[in-house]
Chain A
Amino acid sequence: TQLLEQSPQFLSIQEGENLTVYCNSSSVFSSLQWYRQEPGEGPVLLVTVVTGGEVKKLKRLTFQFGDARKDSSLHITAAQPGDTGLYLCAGARHYSSASKIIFGSGTRLSIRP
């Protein structure tokens, strides 16, 4: 079974600080996605990165796919209480007629006002 390891598992920081969450694997993925999940709800897709080295920005969130397409990072600048939640990375491998997705175990982020 392919593994996607996320770090850190838990992170509690003060509002206004910067943070980076990592997602690492020994396997190559066709694409990598980041989701955010609120309590009592399903995950919501934030971004999909496809090309090695790709960087995408979503307001204060910057996502990067590793050159070898085995790892990814999520950087949040000037964190706000509204960023609090569970962040999940998910690697996808596409075959001719199927798609297998592996999720990381998640990073629970808490931003203190």
Chain B
Amino acid sequence: EAQVTQNPRYLITVTGKKLTVTCSQNMNHEYMSWYRQDPGLGLRQIYYSMNVEVTDKGDVPEGYKVSRKEKRNFPLILESPSPNQTSLYFCASSSGLAGGPSDTQYFGPGTRLTVL
């Protein structure tokens, strides 16, 4: 089954404790992206990757890091989490340019992060 998986699904942590949210897709997609979703703000893109070793900032990259060492994996790293990073996080992947006329962006189930 084609899917995007994220782990963990839920995480409660404390300020300053480094954490990683993993994302993996089994569709051999080149494009992957991380979003955060906050009430009233919709989804905002954090980082995206066009291919292995190619990443770029989205609209809200501060406080986050990503890496793309393999095509299927795109982990999101919070080196020193703060309470304002409490949010619902989504990973997504697509075969070509996300938003392209023939490309579907598939989303993972989400990771709900709480930073105390």
Q: Is the CB of A43 within 8 A of B101?
A: no
Residue of A nearest to B44 (CB): A103
Q: Is the CB of A31 within 8 A of B99?
A: yes
CB distance from A22 to the nearest CB of B (A): 14
- Which A residues lie within 8 Å of B105 (CB)? 33, 45, 101
Q: Is the CB of B99 within 8 A of A48?
A: yes
Interface size on A, residues (CB 8 A): 30
A-B pair count, CB < 8 Å, reads 74
**A40, A43, A101: the one within 8 Å of B99 (CB):** A101
Q: Is the CB of B99 within 8 A of A99?
A: yes
- Which B residues lie within 8 Å of A105 (CB)? 40-42
- Which A residues lie within 8 Å of B108 (CB)? 42
Q: Is the CB of B100 within 8 A of A31?
A: yes
Chain B 39-65, CB within 8 Å of chain A: the 1/0 string?
011111100101000001011000000
Q: Is the CB of B42 within 8 A of A106?
A: yes
Interface size on B, residues (CB 8 A): 30
Known contacts: A98-B56, A103-B42, A103-B43. The answer to whether A43 contacts B107 by CB under 8 A is yes
Residue of B nearest to A94 (CB): B97
State the CA gap A75–B35 with chains docked (Å): 27
CB distance from A23 to the nearest CB of B (A): 11
Q: Is the CB of A99 within 8 A of B43?
A: no
The 16 sampled A-B contact pairs (Cβ below 8 Å) are A4-B42, A30-B99, A40-B109, A40-B110, A41-B110, A42-B109, A48-B103, A90-B99, A94-B99, A94-B100, A97-B50, A98-B50, A99-B99, A103-B44, A105-B41, A105-B42
Interface residues of B (CB under 8 A from A): 4, 31, 33, 35, 40-45, 48, 50, 56, 58-59, 90, 92, 97-101, 103-110
